[in-house]
Amino acid sequence: MASIMRAILLFIVRGMFPLSLIDNVHFRKLVLVLDPRIVLPSRSTLTSTLLPELYEAAKSKLHEELDSCKYDGVIITPSFFYSTTTAVISTTRCFFCHPILPIKDALANGSFDLPLHW
């Protein structure tokens, strides 16, 4: 069940859906049809426990990656864009050298599961 909850959480974060999606009756019915054993968390659990845990895990993973590379090979750039609701969304993109791969690209809410406001 933990892997299913993680997949649902990543779906919300990576898809940039509002956290209110977890309260949406149609979303809850969809999850119930997919697997009746799944009990979705409340929005407060999502924001107070699950998202901070995901953030810390992603931050730790990124720090490990950065520790294994040459610091003179790190470039951090901010990115701003508009969502479909015309809200401005900011992300941070980090390009860095890796011992095995020549260049890695870590995009907030991308390969390292970072939240949008890292």
Q: What is the pLDDT of residues 80-118, one digit of tens each?
A: 776 666 677 777 777 766 555 555 555 554 444 444 443
On whether residue 113 sits in a domain, the answer given is no
Within a 10 A sphere around the Cβ of 57, how many other Cβ atoms?
A: 14
Number of domains in the chain: 1
Beta bridge mates, 86: none
What one-character DSSP code corresponds to residue 56?
H
For 51-84, the pLDDT digits (tens) are: 999 889 888 887 887 777 665 667 777 777 766 6
Cα four-point dihedral sign 93, 112, 108, 34:
positive
On whether residue 118 sits in a domain, the answer given is no
Tell me the residue type at 59.
Answer: K
Which residue has tokens 């490990």?
A: 64
The pLDDT of residue 109? 44
On whether residue 46 sits in a domain, the answer given is yes
Domain that holds residue 10: 2-107
On whether residue 116 sits in a domain, the answer given is no
On whether residue 117 sits in a domain, the answer given is no
On whether residue 115 sits in a domain, the answer given is no
On whether residue 112 sits in a domain, the answer given is no
SS3 readout for 5-28: HHHHHHHHHHCCCCHHHHHCHHHH
